[in-house]
Amino acid sequence: MNRVSEQLDMLPVMEQFYTLQGEGYYQGAAAFFIRLAGCDVGCVWCDVKESWDAAKHPLVPVDHIVEAAAFHPGRIAVVTGGEPLLHPLNTLTHALHAAGFRNHIETSASSPLSGEWDWICVSPKKFKAPLPEVLAVANELKVVIYHPSDFAWAEQHAAQVNKSCKLYLQPEWSRAAVFVPQIVEYIQAHPQWELSLQLHKYINVP
């Protein structure tokens, strides 16, 4: 039994911060990010590898997390990781809703869904397949383009989401110069997709 399952009102938090959402449908909106530690996906290009080992980060009571979020005027809370669905999220999301937040999650969908969500962003990874039942309820599918083969891979997952799900292609940051022109050309030919850029990296915010 892991530490979190022993104490359902506590979660391993790598960092918390108030910023602008940098990616996808809510790009540019004020949001409080809750980055949970622990990941079993292990993307080679992950820019927060320090989040992978949950044991290296403190367990924080849910009420402390919500108190930190409520200090700021924005009312979008984004739960991310690591892979946040490695942890039971019902208590956290219920408390955030009670405090007036919209609950958003960014997940690879490789673990079962828990929690109360207003927006589910699935970013599938080749290193561990997303679960079909999570893809089916996604509001946003955001596929990172790291290799030319990722376009076909994106289409495979687009076929598994619901018809109202927003579709985004996002260049991997270190290869943006190479893939942005290819993504633009692809979207022009496949207009069901839209472009997502990591805005926060361009404007130098968390």
Beta strands in 23-178 (DSSP E): 30-36, 59-61, 76-80, 102-107, 119-122, 140-145, 166-171
Averaged over 70-97, what is the pLDDT? 96
Question: How does pLDDT run across 52-63, given as a tens digit for each residue?
Answer: 788 899 999 999
Radius of gyration of the chain from its Cα atoms, rounded to whole angstroms: 17
Say if residue 3's pLDDT is above 50.
no
Pairing mode, if any, of strands 59-61 and 102-107?
Answer: unpaired
Instruction: Look at 8-12, 63-67, 156-160 and tell me which has the smallest mean pLDDT.
Output: 8-12
**What CA–CA distance (Å, rounded) separates 1 from 37?**
16
Say if residue 5's pLDDT is above 50.
no
Say if residue 134's pLDDT is above 80.
yes
Beta partners for 193? 167
Say if residue 6's pLDDT is above 90.
no
pLDDT of the residue at 86: 95
Q: Answer whether 0.85 is exceeded by the pTM.
A: yes
Averaged over 74-86, what is the pLDDT? 96
- Enumerate domains of the chain plus CATH numbers: 3-202 (3.20.20.70)
Beta partners for 121? 106, 140
Phi, psi angles (nearest 5°) of residue 106: -115, 115
Residue 121 near residue 144 (C-beta atoms within 8 A): no
